Amino acid sequence: MVHTDPVARARELREALDLYNYQYYVLDAPTVPDAEYDFLFRELQELEAAHPSLRTPESPTQRVGSSPREGFQEIRHRVPMLSLNNGFSEEDVLNFDRRVREILDCEVVDYACEPKFDGLAVSLLYRNGRLVEGSTRGDGEAGEDVTANLRTIRAIPLQLPMSSPPSVLEVRGEVLMEKRDFQALNQGQLARGEKLFVNPRNAAAGALRQLDPALTAQRPLSFFAYGMGEVEGWGLPATQGELMDRLSQLRFPVPVERALVRGAAGLLGYFERMSLMRASLRYDIDGVVYKVNAFGQQQALGFVSRAPRFALAHKFPAEEALSEVLDIDVQVGRTGALTPVARLRPVFVGGVTVTNATLHNEDEIRRKDIRIGDQVWVRRAGDVIPEVVAVVPEQRPPHARTFVMPEHCPVCGSKVVRTEGEAISRCSGGLYCPAQRKQALLHFAQRRAMDIDGLGEKLVDQLVDSGLVRTPPDLYGLSLQALASLPRMGEKSAANLLEAIERSRETTLARFIFALGIRNVGETTARDLARHFGDLAPLLSAGLETLQQVPEVGPVVAQSINDFLGEAHNREVVQRLLSCGIRWAAAPSRLQEKQLLAGLTLVLTGTLPHLSRDQARARIEGAGGKVAGSVSRRTAYVVAGADPGSKLQQALELGVPVLDESQLLSLLNQDIS
Nearer to ligand JCF, 174 or 387 (CB): 174
Q: Nearer to ligand JCF by C-beta: 123 or 428?
A: 123
User: Which H helix or E strand runs over 303?
Assistant: strand 303-304
d(CA 79, CA 81): 6
CB 584 within 8 A of CB 512: yes
Nearest to 318 by CA among 400, 381, 252: 381
Helix (H, G, I), strand (E, B), or coil: what is residue 223? Answer: strand
Q: Which is nearer to ligand JCF, 250 or 311 (CB)?
A: 311
Residues in contact with 209: Cβ distance below 8 Å, sequence separation at least 6, in sequence order: 28, 69, 72, 136, 144, 146, 149
| Nearest partner of 604 among 633, 645, 634, judged by Cα | 645
Please identify, using beta-carbon distances, which residue of 83 and 559 lies nearer to ligand JCF: 83
Give the residue among 24, 395, 382, 37 at the shortest CA–CA distance from 179.
Answer: 382
CB of 219 to ligand JCF, least distance (A): 19
Least Cβ distance, residue 215 to ligand JCF (angstroms): 24
E strand or H helix at 104, and its extent? helix 90-104
Three-state DSSP class for 181?
helix
Q: What is the DSSP letter of 304?
A: E
Pick the closer one to ligand JCF by CB: 177 or 603: 177
- CB-nearer residue toward ligand JCF: 289 or 518: 289
Do 104 and 331 form a contact (C-beta atoms < 8 A)? no
Cα–Cα distance between 409 and 60 in angstroms, integer?
52
Nearest partner of 221 among 156, 143, 132, judged by Cα: 156
CB closer to ligand JCF, 134 vs 165: 134
Q: What is the DSSP letter of 317?
A: P
Rounded Cα distance between 93 and 268, Å, is: 8
Which distant-in-sequence residues (6+ apart) come within 8 Å of 508 by Cβ?
530, 584, 585
Beta bridge partners of 30: none
Q: How far is the CB of 47 from ligand JCF (least distance, A)?
A: 30
Q: Judging by DSSP bridges, how do beta strands 425-427 and 285-292 pair with one another?
A: unpaired
* Number of Cα atoms under 13 Å in the Cβ half of residue 538: 17
Give whichever of 221 and 668 is closer to ligand JCF, judged by the CB atom.
221
> Cβ atoms within 10 A of the Cβ of 448, count?
13
* β partners of residue 603: 628, 638
Least separation in angstroms between CB 297 and ligand JCF: 15
Q: How many CB atoms lie within 10 A of CB 77?
A: 21
CB of 99 to ligand JCF, least distance (A): 17
Q: Give whichever of 250 and 665 is closer to ligand JCF, judged by the CB atom.
A: 250
Contact 10, 47 (CB under 8 A): yes
Q: Do residues 64 and 21 touch, judged by C-beta distance below 8 A?
A: no
Comparing CB distances to ligand JCF, the nearer of 221 and 529 is 221
Instruction: For the chain, give the number of residues.
Output: 673
Name, in order, each residue with C-beta under 8 angstroms of 492's C-beta and a sequence gap of 6 or more: none
Minimal distance in Å, beta carbon 141 to ligand JCF?
A: 14
Name the residue with the smallest CB distance to ligand JCF. 226
At closest approach, how far in Å is the CB of 153 from ligand JCF? 16
Residues near ligand JCF (CB under 6 A): 82, 84, 114, 116-117, 121, 174, 226-227, 289, 311
Instruction: State in angstroms the smallest separation of the CB of 172 from ligand JCF.
Output: 7
In the complex, minimum distance from the CB of residue 276 to ligand JCF, in angstroms, rounded to a whole number: 19
Instruction: Using alpha carbons, select from 202, 206, 204 the residue that is nearest to residue 31.
Output: 202
Query: Nearest 5°: phi and psi at 522?
Result: -90, -170
* Residue 358 Cβ vs ligand JCF, minimum distance, rounded to whole Å: 31
> Minimum distance between the CB of residue 226 and ligand JCF, rounded to whole angstroms?
4
- The values of phi and psi at residue 241, to 5°, are -60, -45
User: Nearer Cβ to ligand JCF, position 285 or 501?
Assistant: 285
Type of residue at 75: I
Give least dist CB 320 to ligand JCF, A.
17
User: What strands lie across the sheet with 110-117, from one edge to the other?
Assistant: 86-87, 311-315, 285-292, 110-117, 259-262
Paired residues of 645 in beta bridges? none
- DSSP letter (8 states) at residue 370: -
Rank residues 227 and 336 by Cβ distance to ligand JCF and give the closer one. 227
Phi, psi of 565 (to 5 degrees): -75, -20
Return d(Cα 273, Cα 268) in angstroms, integer.
9
User: Pairing mode, if any, of strands 583-584 and 506-507?
Assistant: parallel
Distance CA 453, CA 502 (A): 11
Q: Enumerate the active-site residues.
A: 116
